[in-house]
Amino acid sequence: MYQKGRAWIELNLENLRFNVQQLKKMLPKTCKLMPAVKANAYGHGALPIAKALQEMGIEDFCVASVEEGIELRNAGIAGNILILGYTHPRQFEQLVKYELTQTVVDSVYAGKMAEYGKEFRVHIGIDTGMHRLGINWMDMEAIRSIWEYKKLKVTGIFSHLCAADGKSQKEKDYTKEQIKRFELVVNQLKQEGKTGFSTHLQGSYGILNYPECRFDYARPGIVLYGLFSRLMECESREKCSNLCSATEAKLRPVLSLKTRVESVRILEQGESAGYGMAYTALSRRKIAVLSIGYADGVPREIAGKAYVLCQGKKVPMIGRICMDQMLVDVTEIPDISSGDEVVLIGRSGEEQIPAETYAEWTGSITNEVVSRLGVRLERIVSS
């Protein structure tokens, strides 16, 4: 079936390859990537992204849930798949069946896994200061005790930084403290003769801002997709040189979001359009109805601030965003008609709308904006 009919995502896998190489260059040679392909690869499409990464030689992935892990296995992803989050004991069988690695999220959870009676591969989460998941870094006894469960095969230990993107001294100091705590735990375990486990700490901003860390893996998410969490960082990439290294990283966005003009109509002066009569034409306007809406992940709250690109020109969104449609003012585009392509994220002619701009419109981060892109959008590899 034709896939560019209504609304779709185009994936530029060359840019993905470029980003992988950029990130590898930043890290020590011995450090491998364990990309975060959770949340449908941040909305990009878990299968096309994971398959492309596998073809680039990447063998390790992390996801949030057992379902996400199974999806990858069924699609032929052969390497290690680490589940970062919670798996219910009634899903333990799936861990075995699909050879997934489970995070030990705390000591109680380790006990439940051990009780189940089958052998599991686990990575131990260490809480070095985020206080979300993991065993407290100071509780060496609890950490050590995981090795005593004969059914748990510890193939990794990791922690997560909670302020690696921060530019304040407080955040930098805290991050350095987290790194130090994790290193202490690792060194202690190695001194005790424990072997056969890998180590990993950095996510995207850990890689960008603390690339000198020496662990076996890094877990990039958002930057792998060529995005910064905020517009400030991507804009200042070229302009400003005295910020953190995040601003100097050269990355290329992988995703474009596109839709089509469904219908073009004229609004006479004083006529309103859309739900709640939220928009009223102050003069005679030409409007286009686009076949994409909030059910596809276009945030409803951006109405009034946002624009799209049409034939290389910015055209403003008007009225309220509907579930399946939205309206734009195309008065300035003379020859627009039903079926024409419109860009929401990406490039059109000389103009472009980065995902970071969406993040700014919503007051959120790109991570949220792209991971909420809907299942109804086709994911198409652009050639």
Rule CB under 6 A: say whether 134 interacts with ligand PLP: no
Rule CB under 6 A: say whether 203 interacts with ligand PLP: yes
Name the percent of the chain in helix, strand, coil, to the closest 5: 35, 25, 40
Pairing type for strands 378-381 and 198-200 reads unpaired
Alpha-carbon span 180 to 198, nearest angstrom: 17
DSSP letter at 36? B
Stretch that binds ligand PLP, among 47-55, 73-81, 169-177, 220-228 (CB under 6 A): 220-228
Q: By beta-carbon distance, which residue lies closest to ligand PLP?
A: 221
Stretch that binds ligand PLP, among 104-112, 168-176, 191-199, 214-222 (CB under 6 A): 214-222
3-state secondary structure of 26: helix
Nearer to ligand PLP, 218 or 273 (CB): 218
Alpha-carbon span 218 to 214, nearest angstrom: 10
Cβ contacts of 331-337, under 8 Å, gap ≥ 24: 331/285, 331/286, 331/287, 333/286, 336/261, 336/264, 336/286, 336/288, 336/310, 336/311, 337/261, 337/264
Rule CB under 6 A: say whether 156 interacts with ligand PLP: no
Rule CB under 6 A: say whether 222 interacts with ligand PLP: yes
For residues 48-87, which are near ligand PLP according to CB under 6 A?
Answer: 84
Instruction: Choose, from 112, 151, 275, 305, the residue flagged as catalytic.
Output: 275
Minimal distance, residue 202 CB to ligand PLP, in Å = 8
Minimal distance, residue 241 CB to ligand PLP, in Å = 23
Per the structure block, which two tokens stand in for 314?
């910015």
Binder of ligand PLP out of 20, 23, 33, 36 (CB under 6 A) = 36
Other residues' Cβ atoms within 10 Å of the Cβ of residue 105: 21
Rule CB under 6 A: say whether 343 interacts with ligand PLP: no
Rule CB under 6 A: say whether 253 interacts with ligand PLP: no
17, 59, 145, 210 from 39: Cα distances, Å: 20, 19, 32, 25
Alpha-carbon span 143 to 199, nearest angstrom: 14
Nearer to ligand PLP, 165 or 329 (CB): 165
Rule CB under 6 A: say whether 43 interacts with ligand PLP: no
275 flagged as catalytic: yes
Stretch that binds ligand PLP, among 144-152, 213-221, 323-331, 374-382 (CB under 6 A): 213-221
Burial of 128 (0-12, 13-18, 19+ CB in 10 A): buried
38 flagged as catalytic: yes
Rule CB under 6 A: say whether 135 interacts with ligand PLP: no
Binder of ligand PLP out of 221, 274, 299, 346 (CB under 6 A) = 221
Catalytic residues: 38, 275
- What is the contact surface with ligand PLP in residues (CB under 6 A)? 36, 38, 84, 160, 203-204, 219-222, 367
